[in-house]
Amino acid sequence: MHDLRTFTHDQHRVVDDVPYGGGPGMVLKPEPIFEAVEHLSQGSGKVRVLLLSPQGRCFHQTLARELAAEGHIIFICGRYEGVDERVRTHLATDEVSIGDYVLAGGELPALVVIEALVRLIPGALGDETSALEDSFSAGLLDHTHYTRPASFRGLEVPPVLRSGDHEKIRIWRRQDALRRTLLRRPDLLSQALLSEEDRRLLEEIRKELA
């Protein structure tokens, strides 16, 4: 983390000012942000500069995989009414939002993006297959998960998961993921890469729900 005040040159280390044209709030000035990014980019080669902003494209798993492959990323966290427009148009390489709502600043969104990226870096997770099977990784929501005990307050673990039949378990989990996605996020199905087996399972689910 780097304090923008470090890159100011006035006595009071000012990083914001009133907006031209009037209006409420303050706007982060361009000079300290440009100097900070330029300083942090020295000798780094290609650098992705992410501006966290409600106006950015919505962050998703595909973008997370793309960014996780980068060698150097700088996050610009807005505050107040945002940043001077010249930061967005001439400094940031990407403008990213974590959702259609507004926070006080970009620090929490930056942490959200960082965690999503770090878990995709080889060695970050104890089991490398975990990230491959998460929700959105294959275009669908994840299947349900159970652990011991097999029976808890009369609630039973599905017998197929205790059967030891790996093929039946695989099919059950895939069907469960398809069902969850259909019920909760049907919009994802139009973009997911579905196999013939997936389409058959999906048809069975639709018949069950009819």
Write the pLDDT tens digit of every residue in 146-169. Answer: 999 999 999 999 999 999 999 999
pTM of the predicted protein model: 0.85
Domain ranges of the chain: 4-118, 133-209
Neighbours of 161 (CB within 10 A): 18
Whether a cis peptide bond, with omega within 30° of 0, leads into 149 is: yes
Could you read off the pLDDT of 99-119 as tens digits, one per residue?
Answer: 999 999 999 999 999 999 999
Catalytic positions, please?
A: 54, 81, 119, 134
Lowest mean pLDDT among 119-123, 160-164, 201-205: 119-123
CATH of region 4-118 = 3.40.1280.10
In the CATH scheme, what is the homologous superfamily, with its name and number, of domain 133-209?
Answer: tRNA(m1g37)methyltransferase, domain 2 (1.10.1270.20)
- Tens-place pLDDT, residues 68-93: 999 999 999 999 899 999 999 999 99
